[in-house]
Structure 1
Amino acid sequence: MNPTLNFIEKWFTVFSLVFLTGILRWSSLFVSPDAKAVSTDEYNPFDSINSLFQYTIYAVSLLLLLARGKSSFRTAKGQLLIWFLPLMAVVSFLWSDFPDDSLRKGIATIQTSYFGLYFASRFRLKQQLQILAWVFGIVAVLSLIFCLLFRGSAIETGANAGAFRGPFTQKNLLARIAVLGLIVFLINALGFPRRRAVLWIGFGINLLLILITTSKTALLLLLMVLVLLPFYKALRWKATITVPIAIMVIVISGSIATLILTNWESSLTAIGRDPSLSGRTGLWEAAIEKIVERPWLGYGYQGFWRDGGGAASIWLSEGYKPPHAHNGFINIPLDLGLIGLFIFLAILTVSYVRAIGYLRSGKTVLELWPIYYVTFFFMYNYSENTIIEQNSIFWALLVSVALSTKQHNRIQPMQPKV
């Protein structure tokens, strides 16, 4: 392949993934630093620029997929389950309370998904990790500079006073990005000894961002990353029941700890009252009651948490307007019903099993990426909504990981160096 075209395509991919993190909206400049303040739709001048980026990125990636039609199709059918959820998001306009909105955002989810397909079909997992190191390095440095230059916007007030949110609307969004960046830099640092010094600096910057967000969930995930490392490496041993059982115990314990920390953090201010009256348990209970009202198909993709939607009674009882259920496993039934939740759990299960197979088939640290990403995706959905979002790096990477591990077992296409 032409080296110039290869260079351009690589940096197109880097820019596209940076865009999908959401950092280029610089949202904290236009959103109140108090998460529970009355929200107003402030004009964001960067939205029109980001819309142009969005249309360009998806148009170019679609053209690149069509240009490599056979390879793209071969990769796309590697896990057909992964396509069911975005397709369901699109057709949910048929039962949505806001059909136009559900259709528009559902189409954007399809576009996000086929960008993940492009990433999987164009680059091997080793190359994906190298690209992701650039992406999360750029995002981390920009976030740190933003925190230094715009402290008034970068630091939260109210319930989370003093926590850094950087250029994002809320501290947990920055923490989520930083945790994923930390995983990427850890695996790269262990897998590429010649670049270890620079990669450990990237690891350190992301660790610093996690600490200044004061996110307990992010710290727990950091601990999980370190604890699971030797156990995931041990999956390459000869068949033994001990390692899978140990991993299961760690993940389940971590899940329980995430739930406790998520609610305990906000319940400390409720001393003397029933802890269930503060934190997220009340929000979850109210959301589950709404799921019972429309259990199978939900309220339509992103049709619940908006003015005039089913969330009105929840907002009234909570006293502020949470944008989602703060739990992906509760939020997806609101959007796509229990059918959508079942499809997602099936996708996650298949992806995890294949990630184990991919890890066992390799000999380097780099093969840890798929299983680490699926674990990250599963764990973070206990406190945030990370399952299926349009223009989201998290969903695009799940599509990429799901398709890349299957592709590895069947074909190793010729790819240029990154």
Structure 2
Amino acid sequence: MATITAGMSSDTATYQGDWPPTQQPSIYHLPVYYAPAPQQPTYRNVLDGYAIPALIQIYTIASLILFAGGMLPLLMGNQEGELFAQSSTKVQYIFLAIYGISFICSLPYLRQILSIARQMHYLIALVLWVCVSALWSFAPEISLRRAIAIIGAAYFGLFFSVRYSLKEQLKLLAIAFGLIIILNYLFVYLWPEYGLMHSMQHVGSWKGIFRHKNLLSRISAFATCLVLLYAYNSPRTRGLAVIFALLAVVQVYYSNSLGGVLILLGLLAIIFPMRYVLPRLNSSSLALYLTALCYSVALSLFVAWNIETIIALINLDTATIIGRFEIWRIIWQSIKEVFWLGYGFNAFWLGWDGPARNVWLATTWSAPHAHNSLLDVWLELGIIGVTIFLVGFVNVFRKAVVYAQGAQNPANLLPLAFLVFFALSMLPESVILQSNDIYWVLYVAITASLLKVQQDAEGLAQ
């Protein structure tokens, strides 16, 4: 009896029996040693060979920087402000090119993308509701155009999640945000006309390659968390990653943004202890932990809605924060007029010709958005849109916590780290369903990645 192992391809097989065989085997049981026809090169073989993966990585990193809002001041004539210049023709063409390239690069993975997308029920429902809102939108053409951008950015997120594992995603994000950190310093010191704020109330604050100091502070806060996670994952580059984290912290400080500081402190206080806490929790302890987390969020909201009283008690001068809560009170009156359906996607903050006119008349400044993500979604998509998003977010957050419990690899913490960053950003800023935005791209990518991990685990179990 002899054992013959054939290794002509990755699909190896073993033949056990007499050698040479005593009789001609049946055509239905041909062993591998009967030389199979050589494999023909496929599109996926070509795409995964030679220099193509490196080019795709460069494209992915550049796209992540653009989705984060980096370098856009160069394309928009150094405009300052927190709103994205959706009407910029140059910007539209750039993102259309990103959508097209991501579709071409995703062709080898199209079946897997469709398989995962079919399981993203809440995300699909949310995107469909965005599209349908054009039917009653105050500005239907704008709603439809921005909906296309939402779909295109979501597809890039799907491509990113399927093309790369979570470990690879962490590496690419760390590289992209590391480049952002370097570019911010270059713009601040070499091109201060771009790198610094020049508006009267924020003059001298750092904004780097972004349109506003608040964007710089949020991205730098998340960059700090990303490079520290990557430092855990890659001991060889740990020292360099720590240096980049410190450089990012400096940028948060010089942006003069209280929101960025709070997001950074929240990320550091929540994520890194979780690496040691979550693996030690059983199901009941995990439920207790999440309950405590929910009560903490509820307490934070209580403090937020009563911030004026608290500020008066401790005698702090924070007119900006008080101004935001005054805007929220006025916005609530607009929400009650379209409680269920909203004004339509991206159809509220349209300047003096849109519904935001009433808010601006009632305040002393022209707010670019509600400075609260859920209020903005409520304004645009009604309570139905808010409900779809919240149910989906809680579902993804639960999966991320369970996945982080097996945090053998620091990359396992990436989904939870982003979702915490996302949640912390929701209260002071408008970050949900922003067209061509890094929050939306990564939210889709993290949702798809967790489903992909679940699919792989079920496949191994079978």
Q: TM-score range by the shorter chain?
A: 0.7 to 0.9
Cα offset, 1:251, TM superposition: 6.5
Deviations 1:346-393 (A, max 9, x none): 111011111022112341222111111111111110000111111111
CA RMSD of aligned residues (A): 3.1
Q: Could you say if the C-alpha distance between residues 134 and 412 of structure 1 is closer, same or farther in structure 2, counting changes exceeding 3 Å?
A: farther
Contact preservation (8 Å) 1:72, 1:117: yes
Give the Cα separation in 2 of the matches to 1:255 and 1:359: 23
Query: Aligned pair 1:135/2:176, yes or no?
Result: yes
- Residue 59 of structure 2 aligns with which residue? 12
TM-score (norm 2): 0.79
| 2-structure distance, mates of 1:274, 1:218 | 15
Determine the structure 2 residue equivalent to 1:173. 215
Matching residue's letter, 1:20 = F
Checking the alignment, whether the CA contact within 8 Å between 1:187 and 1:365 is kept in structure 2 is yes
* 1:6 CA displacement: 0.9
Q: Corresponding residue for 2:32?
A: none
- CA deviation profile, 1:308-354 (whole Å, cap 9, x unmatched): 21110111122222111000011101111111100110111011111
Letter in 1 for 2:101: V
Unaligned runs of 5+ in 1: 414-418
Query: How many angstroms apart in 2 are the aligned matches of 1:245 and 1:172?
Result: 34
Question: Larger Rg: 1 or 2?
Answer: 2
* Residue 70 (str. 1) matches residue 114 (str. 2): no
Task: Count residues with an aligned counterpart.
Answer: 402
Distance in 2 between the 1:145 and 1:274 partners?
31
- Among 144, 147, 153, the alignment partner of 1:112 is 153
**1:239 maps to which of 275, 282, 292:** 282
Tell me the residue number matched to 1:375.
420
Q: CA deviation at 1:244?
A: 5.1
CA deviation string 1:122-147 (max 9, x = no partner): 11000000000111011121112111
The aligned counterpart of 2:355 is: 310
Residue identity matched to 2:219: I
Q: Which runs of 4+ in 1 moved over 6 A?
A: 41-44, 261-264, 271-277
Instruction: Quote the residue 1:204 is aligned against.
Output: 246
Of 68, 77, 94, 1:21 maps to: 68
- Which of residues 336, 341, 357 in structure 1 aligns to 2:402? 357
Classify 1:338/1:242 alpha carbon distance in 2 versus 1 (closer, same or farther; 3 Å).
Answer: same
Task: Choose between structure 1 and 2 for higher RCO, CA contacts under 8 A separated by at least 6 residues.
Answer: 1
Conservation of the 8 A alpha-carbon contact between 1:120 and 1:400: yes
**Post-superposition shift, 1:296?**
1.0
**In structure 2, what residue type is equivalent to 1:177?**
I
Of 98-107 and 1-10, deviating more is 1-10
Identity, in percent, stands at 26
The unaligned stretches of length 5 or more in structure 2 are 1-47
| Equivalent residue letter for 2:278 | L
Superposed, 1:88-103 pairs within 5 Å as 88-103=129-144
Is 1:164 the counterpart of 2:213? The answer is no
CA distance in structure 1 between the partners assigned to 2:306 and 2:239 by the alignment = 34
State the AA in 1 paired with 2:177.
Answer: F
SS where residue 279 of structure 2 aligns? coil
1:144 matches 2:151:
no
Residue 194 of structure 1, aligned match among 220, 232, 236:
236
CA distance in 2, matches of 1:297, 1:338: 7
Write out aligned runs for 1:288-367 (5 A).
288-307=332-351, 308-367=353-412
- Please name the residue that 1:226 is paired with: 268
- TM superposition score normalised by structure 1: 0.87
CA positional deviation for 1:156:
4.5
